[in-house]
Structures are given as C-alpha cells and as structure tokens.
Homo-oligomer: A and B are copies of this chain.
Amino acid sequence: MEPIRKAALVNATITEIGRVGSLDVTVGQIARRAGMSSALAHHYFGSKEDMFLAAMRHILTLYGAEVRGALAVAGGPEDRLRAILCASFSPTNFRREAVGAWLNFWVLAQSVPQARRLLAVYQRRLRSNLLVALRPLVGARAEPVADGLGALIDGLYLREVLKSGPPDAAAAVAVAEGYLRLHLAGAG
C-alpha cells in the first residue's frame, strides 16, 4: 500500500499546487484528492514539507529521465541540444500543473534548504548537459552560452504561467532554438 499511497499523494500535491497556484494548500485538500484522510497522509509522510519535497523530487526525476532518454538516441552535439530542448518542453514537463508547481518550488527553495539543494542539482545537471553538447560546437564560449540558454529556458517556463490558454511548447522551443542557431552560426 505504502508506495501506492505515496505516489497518489505526490501526484495530488502537484495537481493541487497547480490548481490553487500557491503552496497554500492544506494537507486535507491534498489527501482528499488522493482519496484518503489527512491523518493517513501524515502517516506516510511525516509532514507537509516532506510531501512538498517528494513532489519536487518527482517532477525533477521525471524531467531528468526524459532528458536522459532523449539524449540516449541523439547523434551529434546539435542533436543532443535539440534533445534537451524537446525534453524540457515536452507535454509531460510543460503542462500547466507542472509549470505552476515548478514556480512554487522555486519559492520553496528560498526558505527550505533541501528544496534549494534539489533545484541546484537540477541546474547543475542541465548546465553540464548543455556544456558537453556545446563545447564541440562553440569551444570556449560554451559556458556563457549554456548559462544564457539555461536562463532562457527558465524564463520561458516562467512566462508560461501567466499566459492564458494551453501551453505552446512549439513556440517556446522555437525561441530557444533561435538563440542556439545564432550562437552556433556566430562561432562558425
């Protein structure tokens, strides 16, 4: 039962945060959506914060897996870059709830050290993936380009939360690819 319940709670946490648009969700709300009592939620996760962290870990894991999967079938460096972008804006990760939750986890990271650490490893991994793919293409300029691209991806996520209507992954990818194309062309 335990793994099932925990998974249900993690999903409910993400959904509920996305729905409400803030971390001001009660354990009761989360538990109800997951089909159980709030006491049971407290039984499996010691505290609300643990639930948040588990939800964050889940989103990050999902994203990491998708990137790894896309990289596995990518050929050259350019392909690898495109793979990272596609994974970042895939329907799994770029859906409204997940993006809303993402933004709130960023806030959580400001006050909860463990959340900050989680976000830091995500950033490091993304950066490292980008660097590996960029170095053969732009050499020494890989670092600033990777930093810029990382910020751009986060910014595109950020802007998604304010837009109304369904997420437009294609447009986001197009912007990011535009950024890349210029840098690659500039390096010759």
A110 touches B151 (CB 8 A): no
Closest to A172 in B: B151
For residue A162, which residues in chain B have a CB less than 8 angstroms away from its CB? 106, 109, 116, 119-120, 123
Closest to A104 in B: B107
C-alpha gap A154/B151 in the complex (Å): 8
For A88-121 the 0/1 string (1 means CB < 8 A from B) is 0000000000001001101111110000100110
Contact of A186 among B21, B123, B151, B182 (CB under 8 A): B182
Contact of A107 among B22, B159, B178 (CB under 8 A): B22
A110 touches B148 (CB 8 A): no
B178 touches A144 (CB 8 A): yes
Number of interface residues of A (CB under 8 A): 39
For A148-181 the 0/1 string (1 means CB < 8 A from B) is 1011111110110110000000000011001100
For residue A148, which residues in chain B have a CB less than 8 angstroms away from its CB? 152, 175, 178-179
Q: A147 contacts the other chain (Cβ, under 8 Å)?
A: yes
User: Which of A23, A144, A147: most chain B CB closer than 10 A?
Assistant: A147
Extra contacts, 19 of them, besides A123-B162, A148-B175, A185-B186 (Cβ < 8 A), are: A21-B110, A21-B111, A22-B107, A22-B110, A100-B110, A103-B110, A106-B161, A109-B161, A110-B161, A116-B162, A147-B175, A148-B178, A151-B156, A152-B152, A152-B155, A153-B155, A154-B158, A155-B158, A182-B186
What 8 pairs across the A-B complex have the smallest Cβ distances?
A155-B155, A21-B110, A151-B155, A21-B111, A182-B182, A154-B155, A148-B175, A151-B156
